[in-house]
């Protein structure tokens, strides 16, 4: 997805000593195709004008257009992994009150489901109820694709791994956190736990020379 908004860096990363300039927040989702042709989508982005994210994020999102450009219709997607249930990652799962990816399983951590309430539960989880796959911790959700629980940003935040690739959701929000995982983000639910998780997971990924697929960096891919 190619949409972006601007936010003040010092406000988003308090105490980080980042310069007083706008932070351009990009929105990326990732489509994985395995050798058997199975399609896995990691995160669903902002959604359309009726989405929960429409009050603050640029809509309509471009996910369906990007999929179409790749020759993929929503009905072709077999698995949707939601890294977490914030509106800019999960709102695009639903369109007009129905699951957009009608043939997919939607993979969410049980801890994330347990913490969900309010509008997101009503407008996203309720329509997905018959297609939700709750996992608890690390799990292989489709051949070769694993999810790993990485709590802190939200209680059930997860990343997806396939080979050397790690799709990181909001494990890292700004490149400065790659050098200093202790840099806090204002919208982390538990900032101390998020920082500890970030440090531990980035350490493991760096040791593996992983390729990160990030949600909000200007350049979506980063080699550690």
Q: DSSP labels for 164-202? A: TEEE-TTS-SSTHHHH-TT---TT-SSHHHHHHHHHHHH
The string of pLDDT tens digits covering residues 93-149 is: 999 999 999 999 999 999 999 999 888 899 999 999 999 999 999 999 999 999 999
- 63 lies in some domain: yes
State the pTM of this model: 0.94
Other Cβ atoms closer than 10 A to 3: 18
- 208 lies in some domain: yes
pLDDT at residue 120, rounded to an integer: 86
- 127 lies in some domain: yes
- 7 lies in some domain: no
pLDDT at residue 1, rounded to an integer: 40
Average pLDDT over residues 30-57: 90
CATH number at residue 118: 3.60.15.10
Q: What pairs with residue 26 in β-bridges?
A: 4
Average pLDDT over residues 60-85: 92
The string of pLDDT tens digits covering residues 141-199 is: 999 999 999 999 999 999 999 999 999 999 999 999 999 999 999 999 999 999 999 99
Q: Write out the residue range of the structural domain in which residue 214 sits.
A: 28-218
Q: Among 57-66, 83-92, 168-177, which stretch is predicted with the lowest mean pLDDT?
A: 57-66
- 130 lies in some domain: yes
Cα separation, 22 vs 7, in Å, equals 5
- 17 lies in some domain: no
- 158 lies in some domain: yes
- 4 lies in some domain: no
Number of structural domains in the chain: 1
Indicate the pLDDT class of residue 2, thresholds 50, 70 and 90. very low
Percentage of residues in the chain having pLDDT higher than 70: 96
């Amino acid at each position: 997805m190619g949409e972006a908004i601007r936010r003040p860096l010092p406000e988003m990363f308090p105490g980080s000593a980042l310069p007083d300039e706008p932070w351009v927040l990009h929105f990326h989702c990732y489509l994985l195709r395995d050798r058997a042709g199975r399609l896995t989508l990691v995160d669903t982005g902002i959604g359309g004008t009726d989405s929960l994210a429409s009050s603050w994020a640029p809509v309509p999102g471009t996910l369906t257009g990007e999929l179409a450009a790749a020759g993929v219709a929503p009905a072709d997607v077999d698995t949707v992994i939601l890294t977490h249930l914030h509106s800019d990652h999960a709102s695009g799962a639903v369109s007009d009150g129905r699951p957009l990816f009608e043939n997919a399983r939607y993979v969410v951590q049980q801890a994330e489901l347990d913490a969900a309430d309010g509008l997101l539960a009503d407008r996203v989880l309720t329509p997905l109820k018959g297609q939700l796959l709750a996992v608890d911790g690390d799990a292989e959700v489709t051949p070769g694709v694993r999810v790993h629980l990485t709590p802190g940003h939200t209680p059930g935040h997860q990343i997806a791994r396939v080979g050397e690739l790690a799709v990181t959701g909001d494990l890292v929000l700004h490149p400065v956190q790659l050098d200093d995982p202790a840099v806090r983000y204002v919208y982390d639910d538990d900032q101390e736990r998020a920082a500890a998780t970030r440090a531990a997971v980035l350490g493991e990924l760096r040791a593996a020379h992983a390729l990160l697929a990030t949600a909000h960096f200007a350049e979506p891919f980063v080699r550690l």
